[in-house]
Amino acid sequence: MRIAITHISEYRYDGPAGSAVQALRLTPAPVKGQTLVSWKVEAPGIDSACSYTDGFGNLVHLVSPPADSTVVRIAATGVVETTDTGGVSGWTGEAVAAGAFLRSTPMTTADTAIEAMAEAVRSDDRLATLHALMDAVSEHVAYEPGSTHAQTTAAAAFDAKMGVCQDHAHIFIAASRFLRIPARYVTGYLLLEDGAEAPAHHAWAEAYVDDLGWVGFDAANCLCPTDRYVRLGAGLDAASAAPIRGVRRMTGEESLTVDVDVQAVGQGQSQSQSQSGGSQSQQ
Amino acid sequence: MLKTQAYTSDGQSPFFDEMLRPDGTPRPAYAEILKWLSGQSRASFKAKQEEADAIFRRLGITFAVYGAEEANERVIPFDMIPRIISAAEWRFLERGIEQRVRSLNAFLYDIYHRQEIVRAGKIPSSMVNENPAFLPEMMGFDPPGNVYAHIIGVDLVRTGENGFFVLEDNLRTPSGVSYMLENREAMMHLFPELFAAHRVAPVERYPELLRQTLESMAPRECDSDPTIAVLTPGVFNSAYFEHAFLADQMGVELVQGSDLIIEDGALYMRTIRGKERLHVLYRRLDDAFLDPLNFRPDSLLGVPGLFDLYRAGKVTIVNAPGTGIADDKAVYAYVPEIVSFYTGEKPILDNVQTFRCSIDDERGHVLDKLDELVVKEVHGSGGYGMLIGPHASKKERADFAEKIRANPANYIAQPTLSLSTCPAFCPEGVAPRHVDLRPFVLVGDRVRVTPGGLTRVAMKKGSLVVNSSQGGGTKDTWVLED
């Protein structure tokens, strides 16, 4: 399947942006099941940005917009060719060893409730365990936009029994790591079925299975990724994999608008959506 | 004449004395010092001590004591009797230290790349990959020269004629080198005649060698003379004096995070001459605080994006982020295996015997011998979360045993060490006091171990605690040349 993506983030400040830096993880890695046909990242200062591939396999651009900017617009656009691999990303070639994805982070620490859920699905068959875990998370946690925020922990969302894809992924990761199965957070895009209620800017989890490598589990949709999924970046949790992470040394209000448009090329299928809200920046 | 009876009458001491043999005769390296000591009068020595104190106050060498309300800064006690290391002893130490720091740098390269040592089953994956001191963000990066730990202060203790042990490797941001330099300067001023009577290996070139080391670590793309700065957390840091001192001695800027900016994919410092590009940052700031974009977001001390610039090869951070994994207390027990794995040689310097509570047999031994051992938390420092078995009450030991059983991997245990003694000028005359040694090592295009280092001395009789926060002092440390 050929999927065209436009992902625009617009930061608006009520005064000059001042000294700011943003790390962009906005370029899909060439993993099994996806090939970049074209891809472009546009941002103020991108031409002089420094870039490198981080330990998790993400291409990073560090941009510092001009200090007098009042609007910073960051756009990632391109076309990706996908095939259905049954959710298998395989051996993705990043530097970080699988064993490091057993580390827990503040957002992905299992509490006793998550541990109990994990215990209930534990079996000798790792793949079967992970599928059962995906079912259990999906069943326990309702999809409820606005019920959680960017810093909500896995334990808090699990306790509230609701959340968004970030929370489903964090809970899945926390439980998987508790079972000593390496797991990580993946960001990406989803080509929605007509009428589906979910954001096109998506996140899910990947877990490590010996004979397969990394396998995706989307507990929010209770599904392993198909050819409708484009995988953008990976990390230990949402903070570590964030497509845009910024720090600004300036007080003052700012707002962020994100527009994600995902469509199948040549099949007349598309959806787009916007969301507004606070930003990941801090002073 | 100075009394040394405190010494000679103490012939039954169970501790190794570096000046006198058990029969009271001097070891050769101390022969001149003993003669000199017996020629000094108490009054003249006291006068010299006052002169020394005045020198240090003038130099402004102070250290901050956390929690001490009466004074934010104190002058660290200085003992005027030099600690002597013979040429042969030093050759042994130098070889051992060099082998160890090369091995630890090889270990750092390996665990941040293919992790061969884990694959070979020499060290558990979890001890590396799930260790808080391990930074997965560092994986796959080749730092200039493949060096991670450039500036190291190895803590050594001596327990016998040939008994030298490494207590800690200190690969993060070791301090104390300014005391080593100032102690030497003060001694040359106070006792020039002693230097005439001994061939003492110089330490004065340290700042110059530090600068060379930093320059040799410039990013590959830097084709001019690299610009260096020392990054300090600020005046409230207990080692601020040293940060300022080293910057001054090297002739480079001392900066704080707020002096640095990132523009167009490069690091700049604001100076009175305008913006200046920086290539090498000697940071005296912990990993967590280096970069709020990549590490602790609440850090106001660091520079957002600094780590990204480092990975992109635009600036070199010294020591590299993530070196703490190699001086982690749990990993410490594996250092002998680490040395053998990367060098194929037997370790020259021994570790202090360390029991890992994560291992059933070793934990059993620890629980049996709690009254003899020192138990440490794996990630603790500064004496917190520690049990000193011989000094603890029965109840304290029982409580600690529970903690060990509940979370064994969090604890290691070591025997109480019989630190060697050296002569020190004390109220009762010249008396033996316990010492340790921190030699300073620079790793750049080659390994350089400054001869000597910082000797810390417990000024309280019988005390084995040499920390300056516990009333410990320092001594000038002399390595004799053949």
Q: According to the model, what pLDDT value does residue B70 have?
A: 44
Range of the domain at B370: 353-415
Helix (H) / strand (E) containing B350: strand B350-351
Q: How confident is the model at residue A201 (pLDDT cuts 50, 70, 90)?
A: confident
Q: Is B291 exposed, middle or buried (0-12, 13-18, 19+ CB in 10 A)?
A: buried
A282 to chain B: which residues are within 8 Å by CB?
Answer: 292, 297
ipTM: 0.92
Question: Cβ of A45 and B264 within 8 Å?
Answer: yes
Residue A130 lies in a domain: yes
pLDDT tens-digit series, residues A15-35: 888 888 999 999 999 899 999
Asked if B308's CB is within 8 angstroms of A50's CB, the reply is: yes
Residue bearing the bigger pLDDT, B384 or B83: B83
Q: Do B312 and A99 touch (CB under 8 A)?
A: no
| Residue A237 shares a structural domain with residue A251 | no
How far is the C-alpha of B8 from the C-alpha of B20, rounded, in Å? 8
The tens digit of pLDDT for each residue in B304-313 reads 999 999 999 9
Angle at B296 between CA A50 and CA A154, to 5 degrees: 105
Residue B282 backbone phi and psi in degrees, to 5:
-90, 100
Hey, are the CB atoms on B113 and A21 less than 8 Å from each other? no
Residue identified by tokens 């541990």 is A115
Percent of chain B with pLDDT over 70: 93
Question: What's residue B65's pLDDT?
Answer: 44
| Residue B446 falls inside a structural domain | no
Tell me the C-alpha distance between B136 and A54, whole Å: 10
Is A247 inside any structural domain? yes
Listed ranges A218-222, B49-53, B299-303; the one with the highest mean pLDDT:
A218-222
Judged against a pLDDT cut of 50, whether residue B71 lies above it is answered with no
What's the structural domain count of chain A? 2
- Is the Cβ of A56 closer than 8 Å to some Cβ of chain B? yes
Kindly identify which residue of chain A lies nearest to residue B311, measuring between CA atoms: A52
> What pLDDT is recorded for position B320?
98
CA closest to B126 among chain A residues? A99
- CA A27 to each of CA A6, A191, A269: distance values in angstroms, whole numbers, following the listed order: 12, 17, 23
- Reading the block at residue B258, the tokens are 């707020």
Split at pLDDT 50, 70, 90, the class of B462 is confident
Q: CB distance from A69 to chain B under 8 Å?
A: no
Give the range of the structural domain holding residue A11, as residue numbers without chain letter.
Answer: 2-82+242-277
Q: How many CB pairs under 8 A join A and B?
A: 93
Q: State the CATH number of the domain containing residue B361.
A: 3.30.1490.270
Q: Does A60 touch chain B (CB under 8 A)?
A: yes
Distance between A4 CA and the closest CA of chain B, angstroms:
29
For residue B375, is it within any domain?
Answer: yes
Asked if B131 contacts B330 with a C-beta cutoff of 8 angstroms, the reply is: yes
Q: Which two tokens stand for residue A25?
A: 């993880």
Across the range B114-130, mean pLDDT stands at 96
Domain annotation covers residue A113:
yes
Amino acid A204: pLDDT: 98
The per-residue pLDDT for range A36-83, each reduced to its tens digit, is 999 999 999 999 999 999 999 999 999 998 888 899 999 999 999 999
CB A62 within 8 A of CB A21: yes
Q: What is the per-residue pLDDT across B242-290, written as a single tens digit (0 to 9) for each?
A: 999 999 999 999 999 999 999 999 999 998 889 999 999 999 999 999 9
At residue B68, the pLDDT reads 42
Please, are residues B302 and B338 in contact by the beta-carbon 8 Å criterion?
A: no
- Do A236 and A247 lie in a common domain? no
pLDDT of residue A47: 92
Q: How many residues does chain B have?
A: 482
User: What element of type H or E holds B406?
Assistant: helix B394-406
Q: Is B49 on the interface with A (CB under 8 A)?
A: no
Q: What are phi and psi of B187, to 5 degrees?
A: -65, -40
How would you list the strands of the sheet with A183-190, edge to edge? A88-90, A213-217, A201-209, A183-190, A229-235
Residues A78 and A166 in one domain: no
Q: What's the whole-number average pLDDT of chain B?
A: 91
Q: Tell me, yes or no, if A237 comes closer than 8 A to chain B by beta carbon.
A: no
CA distance A52 to B96: 37
Confidence band of A203 (pLDDT split at 50, 70, 90): very high
Which of B262, B275, B299, B379 would you mutate first to test chain A, the one with the most A CBs within 10 A? B262
In a domain, B383, yes or no: yes
User: Which chain A residue has its CA at the smallest distance from B298's CA?
Assistant: A282
Q: Give per-residue pLDDT as tens, A234-280.
A: 999 999 999 999 998 767 788 999 999 999 997 555 555 555 544 43
Copy the structure tokens of residue B437: 């040694």
Residue B101 Rama label (left phi>0; alpha psi -120 to 50; beta): alpha
Per-residue confidence band for B67, with pLDDT thresholds at 50, 70 and 90: very low
Q: What angle do CA A132, A84, A173 make, to 5 degrees?
A: 35
Residue A133, pLDDT above cutoff 90:
yes
CA distance B373 to A117: 41
B106 three-state secondary structure: helix
> Chain A closest CA to B98's CA: distance in Å?
29
Chain A closest-CA separation from residue B311 CA (Å) = 7
